[in-house]
Structure 1
């Protein structure tokens, strides 16, 4: 397993109190999904949970710093994820609480995304024989 990744079975066990998850390797880390929606990620062996303006205060109160990545150009870029509280590693109730908070943030973010427009065109036109 590559450095900085967490065994998917360990993540499934960790989030078991919250519900079934799927772990996908992506961008040098891992995405943690429920019902096709990403609500957590792993980067350098650290679990981060989805956050937004509504959830940030709870993460700040627990001293959970935001996820910041460095681009190839060397620029720092913040994403709406916060470090998972340490209590989640020992306490099922904490996992349910914090994963639920992240799930709610992910649902709000998904609701704000524009609905994809259907493509124009449809079936290709048949060519005419001349």
Structure 2
């Protein structure tokens, strides 16, 4: 799925940003990740309050497995098929995903510098 289509699907949450990650794309609104595009499949953020809604609609939970390790279930579910063809329905699912992202926690803090200036600052204490 191209970036223009992703922007169209999530018009209700604009502005969004799209970043490459996990060999796919992370989709953000308000600085929070609420969706992933992996292997040509779109996944939305879920939590204990929303996962059952996605499962009732036939969505699959995203899992990954590293060689020699047990599968890990991630807090993302596939988008229900009918939502891809219905902008109003997609807006409802997108809002649920954004609510889960907000409940998940605060925005990521900026990265700390690890350069020479950071070393000098920590030695001043």
TM-score using structure 1 length: 0.77
How many equivalent pairs are there?
A: 116
- 2:13–2:29 CA contact under 8 A, matched in 1: no
- Which structure is larger by alpha-carbon Rg, 1 or 2? 1
Residues 74 and 28 of structure 1, relative CA distance in 2, 3 Å threshold: farther
**Greater share of helix:** 2
Quote how far apart the aligned CAs of 1:26 are.
Answer: 0.5
Quote how far apart the aligned CAs of 1:9 are.
Answer: 1.5
Quote how far apart the aligned CAs of 1:32 are.
Answer: 0.6
Quote how far apart the aligned CAs of 1:74 are.
Answer: 4.8
Q: Name the residue aligned to 1:128.
A: none
Listed as ranges, the gaps of 5+ residues in structure 2 are 110-119
Residues in 2 aligned to 1:110 and 1:22: alpha-carbon distance in whole angstroms: 19
Q: Name the residue aligned to 2:32.
A: 37
Residues 95 and 18 of structure 1, relative CA distance in 2, 3 Å threshold: farther
Structure 1 runs of 4+ with >3 Å offset: 72-75, 121-125
Quote how far apart the aligned CAs of 1:20 are.
Answer: 2.2
Listed as ranges, the gaps of 5+ residues in structure 1 are 1-5, 116-120, 126-130
The CA RMSD over aligned residues, in Å, is 2.5
> Secondary structure of the residue that 2:55 maps to in structure 1?
helix
- 1:17–1:92 CA contact under 8 A, matched in 2: no
Q: Name the residue aligned to 2:47.
A: 52
Residues in 2 aligned to 1:73 and 1:46: alpha-carbon distance in whole angstroms: 25
Residues 8 and 69 of structure 1, relative CA distance in 2, 3 Å threshold: same
Residues in 2 aligned to 1:104 and 1:33: alpha-carbon distance in whole angstroms: 12
Quote how far apart the aligned CAs of 1:19 are.
Answer: 2.5
